[in-house]
Each structure stands twice: as structure tokens, then as C-alpha cells.
A = this chain, B = another copy of it.
Amino acid sequence: MSDFHDAAKGGLSAAQLEAVLRQVGAERYHNLHPFHHLMVSGALSKGQMQAWALNRYCYQAVIPRKDAMILARAEDPAFRAEWRKRIEDHDGEDGWSGGIAKWLKLATGLGLDANDVIGERLALPATRFAVGAYLAFCTNRTLLEAVASSLTELFSPVIIGERVPAMLAKYDYVTEDTLAYFKARPEQASRDAQFALSYALKHADTPERQQAVIDALVFKCDILWAMLDALMQAYGEAGHIPPGAFRPEDRK
């Protein structure tokens, strides 16, 4: 396991930097997390699946806000016009016809109450802290780092490709309609990731900036990983639900 702390020492070519970034994904992306393995093996209880959807909603809901923060910090109109598509994808025409609405549909399709999901009060505090850290990162770090932190999307088509067929095959209460969110995502994510990758490779023009780009992607992998860790701790077999958080029917 690499720690990536000195990965850009001495400077990297663009191809080398891209290879390091892909290595970060190969070692740190949350498709390697035990919770994902449980999900694709069909081993999650319905309550665990609900907890996943409910908590992940907090992440989905903050995505267009962190993208708006990136937009607010970008001086290049062409960059903004490209990045703006992300916000449109998540919010849709009227706020409730894009990715967030589709995630809500996923959550309610699993039997959750829409207000419970949107209210976020039943989410794990650890989820909120991780999501808050992501928004703060895109607010406080350089634009280059904020852009680089989105590069987990390079790997999302893979995890979606594992998740969707497994969810349909192994959980009889999951339908194609419930999973509508994932239909558009691989194409959107690939488009967005290519743009962000080109930007990062072009603008990371010193070893320090290259390292900052690598660190940003590690940070983002930590966010996604910590969200699944929190689910395992709360809802795993030996789990212990924190005070005030969602309690599935089978754990009331």
C-alpha cells in the first residue's frame, strides 16, 4: 500500500501524474470497501440498504453546492460553462428533475420517507462531517485542488457497473426504476472526469502542484471510504447506531 505522500517528488510528466492518480483509485477507491463487497454479494439487509441510501443522499445533495463553489472561484468563462453542466445534471430544470431527485427516488423506492431523507436529520453525524469536509475543501483549497478532488469520477463507472447489476439480481425489492439515477451517471461522469483530468494535468505544472493534485484525490477517496466506514460501524453486524440516527425497522 502506497501512502502517496511523496509521489510527485522530483516532478512527473503528465502521463506519470495520470498513472499515479489512477493508482490512487486502484488502492483507495471505495469499491474496495467491505460495505461495497457486502452490497454486491447480496448480503445487505434491507435496513442496511436503506441506511446507505439515506446517508448517501447527504453527499448527493451537496455535490451541486460544491460545484457552485468551484464555479464561483473560476475566472475562465469557458471553464465555468463546462463545469456548470454538473450542476444542471444534479438539479435538473427545476431543482427536482436531476440527479438529486433520482437519488431521492432510489431512497423512497427502498421504502424510506422522502422527508426523512431530505431532512438529513437521521443521517449519521459522521456522514455530515465527511460531506462538510468535502464542501470546505472545495471552498478553502486552490481551484486546482478542488477540481482534482472530483477525480474519483474517473473510477465511478466501474463501481456503478458492479453495483447496478448486483442490486437488480440480488435484492428482489430493487427495480430498474429505483435505480434510474445510475442510468445517466456513467456517461456524465466520464465526460466530467475527462475534463477535470485534462485541467489537472495541464495546471499541475510544478512538483508541488502535482503533489497537491494527488493529495486532493487521496482526500476525496478518504471521504467516500469514511462514509462507508460509518455505515459499517452503525449498521454492520456488530454495529452500534449512534444516538439520534436512523434505526431500520429490524433494529428498532
Contacts and interface: CB of A to CB of B under 8 A. Distances in A.
Copies of this chain, whole number:
2
A89 interface: no
Interface residues on A, range: 35 or more
Given A5-B121, A121-B5, A132-B136, A229 B233 contact: yes
Classify the secondary structure of A's interface with B: helix
A240 B34 contact: yes
A124 B232 CA distance: 15
Interface string A214-252: 000011011101100110111011101011100000000
Contacts of A34: 240
Contacts of A236: 238
A15 interface: no
> Of A5, A242, A244, which is in contact with the most chain B CB atoms at under 10 Å from its CB?
A244
Contact of A28 (B230, B237, B243): B243
B225 A243 contact: yes
Given A133-B129, A229-B233, A222 B242 contact: yes
Interface of A: 1, 3-5, 27-28, 34, 121, 124-126, 128-130, 132-133, 136, 218-219, 221-223, 225-226, 229-230, 232-234, 236-238, 240, 242-244
